[in-house]
Amino acid sequence: MMMYLNRECPTAMEFTSFSKVADVTDEDFIATAMQFEENYLKKQVGVVSHFLLRNLKGEYANLLFAKDREALKAVEQGFKNDPYARHYMQQISGSSVTVYYHSILKKNFLVPEHFSCFEHGIFKVKKEEKYSQRYILDISQKLEDQYLDLQDNTLEHFIGMLDEDTYSEIVFGKTLGKTREVCFGYLQEPIGLELMDIMIPDTAILDFWYLIA
């Protein structure tokens, strides 16, 4: 896996979590995913990179970066006409699928060439006038300057937007254990608490994922 088609700066990310169907082994599923990537994803216009992830609960996730959201939608629309895509989808439990489309708000973002952990967090922002997109991005930059970039584990970070009320906070790290430690360290940092303060309580969804191949 770890498909890098080019070193373009993506502006869109799709994160899809799911479980495989019960009678498919992990080995067979990973092999099917690699065939899907090689024979379908690599041919899609606008795709920048793709990764297969897993979390500590045994769930899988597709992480797909593209030139824009239109490219992501086109990838999905072509599934039914491609045998490799159909075979891949047949091995996924449909009722378990959750899809998030993110607009990447960080300028000139590049997917790190080497990472093993991915933190995916989404949250809704309090409806207060001061919590504009500019305000949120300023906090993100300060978080990088004052905390994340000081950690050897951190490889990249950005704020994304799912809709006008929902944002995401994404971290790429070297190891799962250290990435968890760094992210939970927000609670001990003034700038981390500033980020927490803009969130509506109980709307945050956070998990840590590791690279399969």
- For residue 3, is pLDDT > 90? no
Residues 47 and 85 in one domain: yes
Residue 201, CA distances (Å) to 87, 121, 124, 137 in order: 40, 14, 9, 20
Residue 201: which domain range?
Answer: 117-155+162-211
Within a domain: 112: no
Find the mean pLDDT for residues 102-111: 96
Q: Confidence band (pLDDT; 50, 70, 90) for 41?
A: very high
Q: pLDDT tens, 144-197?
A: 999 999 999 999 999 999 999 999 999 999 999 999 999 999 999 999 999 999
- For residue 1, is pLDDT > 60? no
Within a domain: 2: no
Residues 14 and 73 in one domain: yes
Q: pLDDT tens, 52-98?
A: 999 999 999 999 999 999 999 999 999 989 999 999 999 999 999 99
Within a domain: 22: yes
Within a domain: 109: no
First-to-last C-alpha distance (Å) of the chain = 5
pTM of this structure: 0.94
- Quote the pLDDT of residue 90: 96
Q: Confidence band (pLDDT; 50, 70, 90) for 6?
A: confident
- The domain total for the chain is 2
Q: Is 103:12 a contact under the CB 8 Å cutoff? A: yes
Dig out the tokens for 1 from the structure: 């896996």
- Quote the pLDDT of residue 40: 95
Residues 204 and 151 in one domain: yes
Residues 43 and 86 in one domain: yes
What does the DSSP assignment read for 57-103? TS-EEEEEEESSHHHHHHHHHTGGG-HHHHHHHHTB-GGG-EEEEEE
- Quote the pLDDT of residue 7: 78
- Quote the pLDDT of residue 2: 59
Residues 61 and 82 in one domain: yes
What CATH number does the domain containing 50 carry?
3.30.70.100
Neighbours of 6 (CB within 10 A): 10
Residues 79 and 133 in one domain: no
Closest-CA residue to 49 (of 74, 14, 19): 14
